[in-house]
DNA sequence: CTGAAAGCGCTTACAG
DNA sequence: CTGAAAGCGCTTACAG
């Protein structure tokens, strides 16, 4: 048996589809006596409105598409959590897609979301994306889009990010004040905004303190736990070993931690750590890590609120760059 | 300017909508010369097919709805990852919704997904759900639904779960063989299938070894890190302290770990641990934890494959109960 | 208070 | 090879 439609109910009750539709939406046009009969029938038949049909007419879906590189990275899980939670409060549904850090997958996801006619898109860019043509397609489709965390400047979209450069500078500067001199950096990927900015802040802090930047101590190889392990190994193979490692995110830090401890090194005695991270994750480390404290949940909420504003405001205010400030939180890894 | 439609292009090229539609889908009906012209125009105008319209006609969306209690629980992040990844390979999109362990939110999510006309639903039930009426609505809507991890038996739906009872039994039995006698259990919520089964397995192992079940040692209070902390505190306040704790999942274990270490206790010297968990999470613990090794990614993949089968197979084979076996993996927490 | 008409953007028979 | 007709399930003017 096919699913109940307005037409089915109209026939059963000998009224028109319009009346059914109005009654179900509690439109004042319909008498309350009729409304009751219609609602009762709807429940009896298990009628559910077909949003597809409704959306086709209204040309709105109340649905937001999200593109993230990797949800096994808990930073993005928490960000998606923030997005879903605030979307729900605003009456929006979320479609989550994952690029797996692949340019082609990212493009495919974006095109699918546009074809699904989502009302807007939230994206954190893949580390391997170099071709930005798909974003001109997004522009043509007139789908509002907001970058979050990993942004793409100069494309004319709004972005929500954190003060990567300053926070990196501050953290490394703090470490230098504490007496550390030999400071390495597990840098993620410099093809991303966060990778670049955090690395720049790190270098700036060294230079301002009259320390030289040692190229072999800047390891660029991704954002995963595995990358942290490999990165630490590379670093520790060198004759000239650092005293402290500045890590680009919590996952890289946890990989480096694990590898250091596997090698029998003491933290912070043999090797100290400081870097970007967030409490739900890095507080579990042993010892807990001194972090530039990110708040992925808040980032997700802010990104959604910003996108919602773009969707619902008629006036085109032009792209905005929203930057969330971050604080240093001291623990015992450094 | 509104988005380009088939009609727009038809007018520009002086052919019918049907011809445009066919050309774009590479239908043999249209001459290749015309196809080229049409495709060129489509690219120029940035045409993207409207899936809403397409779906309304086809009465399929190639979209699957997922309902999970909490994505900040990384078990579910990994499961969702597995679902999205295999869905992508099969050409399906995923809509993720979160119940926040609330019955009302779960019901709302389910109704929304049905109205969105998803082709199927994957759900892990909230710990606070007692009223199952919404599932009769799902039945009426004829939307295929598969439970995963936390299931609801006897409702006539297919489920994909793990052998909770046997695994719990085996783990606790192993601990007893190793010489532990005073074994407590942080039990999650007994209102869920996994909570019940794991607790039953734990009790069975005690009884089979002629140990008594101590009620005060079975702490029922949820599945989060916070619950693990509280649970451990409750346990440790007691005069009669256990030697080992059997934990219902990795998050509860990590909370208990953190609290134990905060109190200055040595693991496994002062208090040992064994329990359900998965490597990506529990291997980060210090010391790494002896676990009944779950694989949320695989669970997600299996759940999706099972649902896909139900969607695509015409023959109604009736509900199936798929149970994945789990292995004990020895580390140093016990 | 009730309903006939038109349309959202597609696709599928079917006719030529 | 090309297209006119009908319809997917709704909603919005508009007329009565």
Contact of A141 with chain B, judged by CB distance below 8 Å, is answered with yes
| Average pLDDT in chain B | 94
For residue A55, give the nearest of B52, B100, B111 by CB distance: B52
Determine the pLDDT at residue B2: 64
Residue B6, both tokens: 């088939």
pLDDT at B320: 95
Are A193 and A182 a contacting pair, CB within 8 Å? no
A92: Cβ contacts below 8 Å, ≥ 6 apart: A62, A63, A64, A119, A308
Burial track B183-196 (b if 16+ CB lie within 10 A, e otherwise): bbbbbbbbebbbbb
Mean pLDDT of B141-147: 95
What's residue B28's pLDDT? 84
pLDDT tens digits for range B250-272? 999 999 999 999 899 999 999 99
- Residue A72 confidence (pLDDT): 81
> Which residues of chain A between 15 and 74 are close to nucleic strand C, CB under 7 A?
15-19, 22, 28-32, 34, 53, 56-57, 59
Q: What is the pLDDT of residue A305?
A: 98
Q: Which residue has the higher pLDDT, A60 or B317?
A: A60
Could you give the percent of chain B with pLDDT greater than 70? 99
Q: What are phi and psi of B64, to 5 degrees?
A: -120, 135
Of residues 1 to 20 in chain A, which lie within 7 A of strand C by their beta carbon?
A: 14-19
Q: Tell me the shortest Cα–Cα distance from B210 to chain A, in angstroms.
A: 37
pLDDT values of chain A reduced to their tens digit, one per residue, 334 residues: 468 999 999 989 999 889 999 999 888 888 888 899 999 999 989 899 999 999 999 999 999 999 999 888 889 999 999 999 999 999 999 999 999 999 999 999 999 999 999 999 999 999 999 999 999 989 989 999 999 999 998 999 999 999 999 999 999 999 999 999 999 999 999 999 999 999 999 999 999 999 999 999 999 999 999 999 999 999 999 999 999 999 999 999 999 999 999 899 999 999 999 999 999 889 888 889 999 999 999 999 999 999 999 999 877 788 999 999 999 999 999 9
DSSP state of A125: -
Which pTM was predicted?
0.93
Instruction: In whole angstroms, give the CA distance from residue A308 to residue A249.
Output: 28
Instruction: Please write the tens of the pLDDT for every residue from A64-91.
Output: 999 999 888 889 999 999 999 999 999 9
| CA-based nearest distance A149→chain B, Å | 18
DSSP assignment letter at B118: -
Q: Inform me whether the C-beta atom of residue A316 falls under 8 Å from chain B C-beta atoms.
A: no
């Amino acid at each position: 048996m096919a699913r109940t439609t307005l037409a089915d109910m109209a026939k059963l009750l000998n009224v028109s589809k319009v009346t059914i539709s109005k009654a179900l939406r509690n439109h004042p046009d319909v008498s309350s006596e009729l409304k009751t009969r219609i609602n009762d029938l709807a429940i009896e038949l298990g009628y559910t409105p077909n949003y597809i049909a409704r959306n086709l007419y209204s040309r709105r879906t109340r649905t937001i598409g999200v593109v993230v590189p990797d949800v096994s990275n808990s930073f993005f899980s928490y960000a998606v959590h923030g997005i879903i939670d605030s979307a729900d409060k605003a009456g929006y549904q979320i479609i989550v897609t994952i690029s797996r850090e692949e340019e082609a997958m990212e493009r495919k996801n974006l095109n699918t979301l546009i074809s699904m006619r989502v009302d807007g898109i939230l994206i954190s860019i893949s580390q391997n994306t170099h071709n930005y043509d798909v974003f001109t397609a997004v522009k043509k489709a007139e789908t509002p889009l907001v970058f979050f965390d990993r942004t793409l400047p100069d494309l004319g979209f709004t972005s929500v990010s954190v003060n990567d450069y300053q926070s990196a500078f501050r953290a490394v500067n703090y470490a230098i004040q504490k007496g550390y001199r030999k400071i390495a950096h597990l840098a993620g990927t410099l093809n991303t905004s966060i990778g670049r900015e955090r690395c720049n802040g790190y270098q700036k802090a060294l230079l301002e303190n009259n320390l030289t930047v040692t190229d072999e101590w800047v390891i660029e190889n991704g954002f995963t736990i595995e990358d942290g392990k490999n990165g630490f190994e590379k670093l520790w193979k060198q004759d000239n070993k650092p005293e402290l490692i500045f890590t680009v995110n919590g996952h890289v830090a946890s990989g480096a931690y694990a590898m250091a401890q596997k090698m029998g090194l003491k933290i912070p005695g043999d090797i100290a750590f400081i870097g970007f991270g967030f409490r739900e994750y890095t507080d579990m480390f042993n010892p807990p890590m001194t972090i530039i404290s990110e708040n992925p949940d808040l980032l997700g909420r802010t990104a959604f609120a910003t996108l919602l504003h773009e969707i619902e405001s008629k006036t085109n205010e032009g792209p905005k760059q929203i930057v969330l400030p971050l604080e240093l939180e001291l623990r015992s890894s450094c």
